[in-house]
Amino acid sequence: MQQAIWVASIAVLVTGAVAVAASDPGYDRVAGRAHASRSEVIAPHAMAATSQPLATQVALDILKAGGSAVDAAIAANATLGLMEPTGNGIGGDLFAIIWDAEKKELVGLNASGRAPRAMTLEYFQKNGIDKIPPFGPLPVSVPGAVDGWFQLHGRYGRLDIKAVLAPAIAYAREGFPVSEVIAHYFKSNKARISHYPGFAETYMPNGDVPKKGEMFKNPRLADTLEAIALKGRDEFYKGDIAKRIDAYMAEQGGLLNYDDLAAHESEWVTPVSTNYRGWDVYELPPNGQGIAALQILNVLEGYDLAAMGFGSAEYIHTFVEAKKLAFEDRAKYYADMDFVDVPVETLISKNYADKRRKFIDESRASNSLPAGDAKLDNGDTIYLTIADADGNMVSLIQSNYRGMGSGMTPGDLGFILQDRAELFALDANHANVVEGGKRPFHTIIPAFVMKDGEPLISFGLMGGAMQPQGHAQIVVNMIDFGMNLQEAGDAARINHTGSSQPTGSTMTDGGVVHLETTFSTETREALEAMGHTLGDSNGSFGGYQAIMWDKEQGVYYGASEVRKDGQAAGY
Note if 381 is an active site residue: yes
Give CB contacts under 8 A, 24+ apart, made by 193-196.
Answer: 193/135, 193/404, 193/405, 193/406, 193/407, 193/416, 194/407, 195/407, 196/135, 196/136, 196/252, 196/406, 196/407, 196/408, 196/409
Burial code of 325-343, b = ≥16 C-beta within 10 A, e = fewer?
Answer: bbbbbbbbbbbbbeebebb
**Options 381, 385, 497, 503, the catalytic residue:** 381
Cβ pair 384, 73 in contact under 8 A: yes
| CB-neighbour burial class of residue 480 (10 A; exposed 0-12, middle 13-18, buried 19+) | buried
Rounded CA separation 300/554 (Å) = 32
Q: According to DSSP H, which parts of 286-403 are helical?
A: 291-300, 305-308, 313-333, 344-347, 350-357
Cβ pair 454, 134 in contact under 8 A: no
For residue 474, how many other CB atoms are within 10 A of its CB? 28
Residue whose C-alpha is closest to residue 297's, from 473, 548, 500, 466: 473
Task: Determine how β-strand 279-283 pairs with β-strand 272-276.
Answer: antiparallel
Rounded CA separation 306/33 (Å) = 16
Active site members: 381
